[in-house]
Homo-oligomer: A and B are copies of this chain.
Amino acid sequence: MRDFNEHTITDAVIDRFKDTPDPRLKVLLGSLVRHLHDFVRDTEPTFDEWIAAIQFLTRTGQISSDTRQEFILLSDVLGVSMLVDAINHRMPEGATETTVLGPFYVEGAPVFEDGEDISAGLPGEPLYVDALLTSAHGDPLPGAVVDVWQSDSDGYYDVQRSDLETAALRGRLVADGQGRVRFWSITPTAYPIPYDGPVGDLLTATKRHPWRPAHLHFRVSAPGYETLVTHVFVGGDPYLDSDAVFGVKTSLVDPYPVQPAGEGPGGRRVDGPWRRLDYRFGLKPV
């Protein structure tokens, strides 16, 4: 086979994948080639535009590292991450909605006991979290494992700060007999996604801002249930309707109501105002 033209080349490329042993890979590649070629035919990129795309993708790979994943960021700002999330989590009534994992989840976070403080002493407005883990039907899930991680009061995660020697503002807790976990932390703040790389250049060139509204990340797992990956956003944040990664759902916004100074849960003395989050997470059965 030779002499392909702009109309015949698509079928020729798909045919070249005909001996792919894994049937799923064959389907994925066939669809990829068809949509990618349709994009090229629709837009008719010049040679210079094609080279610019090659260079953009190359830079996106080369700036990625153990602590930075620029292709996930690109997927996020193009809405692909949330689309993949939506397709994989068509949730039943009573189940908590999902949102993106994001690039800052770390395996092996420190374990905390009921009521402990995960902030490692970082400054910020105190926050008390009381989470109830249940099935979608509302049945409590004792022993459910809850991972939480969040930004500090400057908008950075611990892995972005070279001055920290240990984990901070991330931890793992196990639900008690009533399916509850409780911990102290600080109120998260809005933050820009990293914008000093190719994805930042894309946002700048398109006059998009890089901000995400403030949120806590939660990952909840329990035997017999789909692992839940989600955020709880802070109500009133100015970026709730323009999240750079399209991740906000109304059901995931909580007011994090402000509490007066004085004695907080567990007898903790709080000098200024503080907030609390009471939230129920409902898990979908497998």
Counted per complex, copies of this chain come to 2
CB < 8 Å neighbour of A205 from B5, B20, B69: B20
**Contact assessment for A20 and B75 in the assembled complex, using a CB-CB cutoff below 8 Å:** no
Tally of chain A residues near chain B (CB < 8 A): 74
Q: Which chain A residues in 1-47 approach chain B with CB under 8 Å?
A: 1-6, 9-10, 12-13, 16-17, 19-22, 25-29, 31-33, 35-47
Q: Which residue of chain B lies nearest to A57 when distances are taken between CB atoms in the complex?
A: B71
Contact of A2 among B37, B39, B58, B249 (CB under 8 A): B249
Interfacial chain B residues near A160, Cβ < 8 Å: none
Does any Cβ of B come within 8 Å of A166's Cβ?
no
Do residues A37 and B79 form an inter-chain contact, with CB atoms below 8 A? yes
Contact partners of A268 in chain B: CB under 8 A: none
Q: Are A17 and B88 in contact (CB under 8 A)?
A: no
Q: A248-B3, A249-B3 are in contact. Are A83 and B39 (CB under 8 A)?
A: no
The interface bits of chain A over 184-213 (1 if a CB of B lies within 8 angstroms of the residue's CB, else 0) are 000000000000000000000111100000
Does A258 sit within 8 A of B, measured CB to CB? no
* Interface contact A43-B64, CB-CB below 8 Å: no
A111 partner residues in chain B, CB cutoff 8 A:
none
Chain A contact residues: helix, strand, loop or mixed: helix
Select which of B32, B61, B208 is within 8 A of A58 by beta carbon.
B61
Q: Which of A257-273 contact B (CB under 8 A)?
A: none
Contact indicator A57/B58 (Cβ below 8 Å): no
Once A12-B79, A78-B13 are accepted as A-B contacts, the answer to whether A241 and B60 lie under 8 Å apart by CB is: no
* Contacts A50-B75, A59-B61, A69-B58 given; does A45 touch B84 at CB 8 Å: yes
Q: In the complex, A250 Cα to B13 Cα: how many Å?
A: 18
Q: Which residues of B contact A43 (CB under 8 A)?
A: 27-28, 31-32
What are the nearest 4 A-B pairs in CB distance? Answer: A61-B61, A13-B79, A2-B248, A35-B39
